[in-house]
Amino acid sequence: MSPTPAPDGVPTVLLHVWRVRSPGRALLRMGLDQVHLRRSGATFWQLLGTAGAGFGLRDADLHRWALLTCWPSREQAARADDLVTVRRWEQLAVESARLELRPVGTRGRWAGAAPFGPDTEPPAPGAVVGPVAAITRARLGRRASRDFRASVAPVAGELAAARGLRFTMGIGERPTGLLGTFSVWEGDDALRRFAHHAPAHVAVARQSRRNEWFAEELFSRFAVVEARGTLAGRPAANFASPATDRPSR
């Protein structure tokens, strides 16, 4: 069945994820590819390192890297596979995945931009059929780092055990200070259950607002339109399938 077309103004979002043998060559690519991506035609892009739940240098996974790009249409997004950047990462990779995402609710900013469209309310319960993905990203204020990091472990434990979670990883433009997560859920109800009812997560969300921990933050939901390749040792198509299966992290 063909995916439902995105409304006008809603971008097509691609997330490429690569696992590599050589962290040194990957770090070199992170620097060199900035120039190529500026000429790519993408409306927004970020080269991303990945991490565990702790967001610190010790949590960084130097063997897994990602590229997030946004495109005005699905037709333009299809050209992303021919980008010099994507081809060179594919040559480095021992595992690669490509996920196509359609924004279905977003709020906040990323580096001052609204990459997934203007702020919109999340979809009504049941409006999105099939798996959903979420991207969170925050930039800590100068005084928030110690307090925030002390709160991470309980939330990470809740997330790891969350019912309906299929995949999660930390993401960031650099290992510390810029914090994000990418996750895939069996459905929007599973994401809502964690976001609004997991006690540690709810408590930290309230505390962050009360203490103004974040200088900038973003939360976006996506329908998973298509997934191909291999992610975390499993066919990426599993993450786009409506069938319920065991979570992977």
State the pLDDT at residue 5.
45
Residue labelled with tokens 């035609």: 41
87 vs 84: CA distance, rounded Å: 5
State the pLDDT at residue 182.
95
Going residue by residue through the chain, which has 249 residues, state the pLDDT in tens, using 9 for 90 and above. Answer: 334 445 557 899 999 999 999 999 999 999 899 889 999 999 999 999 998 755 656 778 999 999 999 999 999 999 899 999 999 999 999 999 999 999 999 999 999 999 999 999 888 888 888 999 999 998 887 777 677 777 777 888 888 889 999 999 999 987 555 688 999 999 999 999 999 989 988 888 888 888 888 889 999 999 999 999 999 999 999 988 885 444 444
156 contacts 59 by C-beta, under 8 angstroms: no
* Closest listed residue to residue 33, CA positions, set 65, 71, 64, 61: 65
Query: What is the SS3 assignment for 152?
Result: helix
220 vs 218: CA distance, rounded Å: 7
20 vs 4: CA distance, rounded Å: 34
pTM: 0.89
Other C-beta atoms within 10 Å of 183: how many? 20
